[in-house]
């Protein structure tokens, strides 16, 4: 129920932003048109947002029967983790992208997909890949994927709609050109704040549940250190073109937002690593059961 309420509140807030931008562009008529458009888009996003995001990143589905090398191991690891966690098998995608990163998407666990970049598979060991994919499966298990994907889609649309404000000049009743400039700047910011409102806690929780799924908190801790360093050095042009999708990734793919500041959709990586190290310490000191972690992952 928490997931349903959270998603509904998020979509309502973003829908209200649509209406606000519409009113700025066309007064009362513009607001009505924007709200109708937002309602249609909410419904469309529920069923199709995952496909939109996968298409944005040119992700291709992996068939484990015909895959080889690191891609085959990635598919086998993900399938083993899902089976170990008692979850439906997600669809598995690969993105031809040198930046190490990954995300999960889908409206529910029965219709979920996970995607990893070729850069991630080249950089990480099998154990670290397991830590990352366990984190993504945790998002699926917690039903975060609908929230993340719909939010990314609608927030991106709000940004595009707001950018039109400068061309249309806004309605005369709402400040004309000055109002349009304000809308162009503030609407995307408001959408980003709505995204940020739930994302940090969600990432911390997925780290914890991911450690439970794979049984080894330090696998993810090691992976996060490597991915963070790689993402800081290697640009992700697709994410830069569609910044609203950045929140989907395990590490922020956008450059210049590595700090745990007001507008970051991801927690500080070092904070996440330290939490995982603390969890591993509790396991070492008191055993798996007391830390809420499975006795071992699928590789023993």
Sheet holding 91-95, edge to edge: 60-61, 91-95, 113-117, 102-105
Taking the C-alpha atoms of residue 208 and residue 12, their distance in angstroms, rounded to an integer, is 29
Q: Which two tokens stand for residue 19?
A: 């209406």
Active-site positions? 136
Q: Hey, CA dihedral for 214, 144, 232, 99, is it positive or negative?
A: positive
3-class DSSP assignment, residue 280: helix
Distances (CA, A) of 168 to 31, 63, 156, 181, 190: 15, 47, 19, 10, 21
Q: Which two tokens stand for residue 238?
A: 């697709």
Angle at 95 between CA 89 and CA 101, to 5 degrees: 85
């Amino acid at each position: 129920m928490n997931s349903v309420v959270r998603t509904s509140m998020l979509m309502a807030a973003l829908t209200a932003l649509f209406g606000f931008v519409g009113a700025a562009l066309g007064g009362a008529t513009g607001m009505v048109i924007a709200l109708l458009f937002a309602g249609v888009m909410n419904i469309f996003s529920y069923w199709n947002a995952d496909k939109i995001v996968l298409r944005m990143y040119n992700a291709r589905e992996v068939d484990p029967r015909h895959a080889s090398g690191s891609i085959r191991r990635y598919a086998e690891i993900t399938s083993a983790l899902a089976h170990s966690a008692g979850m439906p098998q997600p669809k598995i995608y690969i993105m031809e992208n040198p930046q190490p990163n990954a995300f999960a998407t889908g409206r529910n666990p029965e219709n979920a997909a996970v995607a990893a970049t070729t850069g991630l598979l080249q950089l990480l060991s099998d154990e670290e890949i397991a830590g990352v994919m366990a984190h993504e499966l945790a998002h699926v298990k917690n039903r975060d994927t609908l929230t993340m994907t719909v939010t990314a889609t609608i927030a991106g649309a709000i940004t595009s709609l707001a950018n039109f404000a400068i061309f249309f000049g806004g309605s005369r009743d709402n400040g004309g050109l000055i109002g349009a400039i304000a809308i162009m700047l503030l609407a995307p910011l408001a959408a980003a704040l709505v995204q940020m409102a739930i994302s940090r806690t969600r990432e911390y929780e997925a780290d914890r549940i991911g450690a439970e799924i794979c049984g080894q908190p330090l696998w993810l801790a090691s992976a996060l250190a490597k991915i963070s360093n790689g993402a800081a050095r290697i640009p992700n042009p697709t994410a830069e073109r569609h910044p609203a999708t950045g929140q989907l990734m395990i590490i922020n793919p956008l450059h210049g937002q590595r700090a745990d500041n007001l507008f970051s959709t991801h927690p500080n990586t070092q904070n996440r690593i330290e939490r995982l190290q603390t969890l591993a310490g509790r396991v070492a000191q008191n055993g798996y059961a007391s830390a809420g972690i499975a006795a071992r992952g699928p590789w023993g």
